[in-house]
Amino acid sequence: MSHFTSVKTKIKDLVCLERALKDLGYEFTVATDEQLVRVLGYQGDTTKAEMSIHASKTYDIGVKLTADGTYEFVADWWGVETTRGVEEEEFIKKLTQRYSYHKVMTEIKKRGYTIESEEQNEDKAIQVRVRTWS
User: What tens digit of pLDDT does each residue of 84-122 get?
Assistant: 999 999 999 999 999 999 999 999 989 888 888 889 888
Cα-only R_g, the chain: 17
Distance CA 6, CA 114 (A): 38
Question: Under DSSP, is residue 112 helix (H, G, I), strand (E, B) or coil?
Answer: coil
Distance CA 18, CA 53 (A): 10
Which amino acid appears at position 6 of this protein?
A: S
User: What tens digit of pLDDT does each residue of 58-93 get?
Assistant: 999 999 999 999 999 999 999 999 999 999 999 999
For position 2, what pLDDT does the model report? 53
For position 1, what pLDDT does the model report? 43
For position 134, what pLDDT does the model report? 61
In order, the DSSP letters of 41-54 are: -GGG-EEEESEEEE
For position 120, what pLDDT does the model report? 87
Question: Under DSSP, is residue 17 helix (H, G, I), strand (E, B) or coil?
Answer: helix
Answering whether pTM is above 0.85, one says: yes
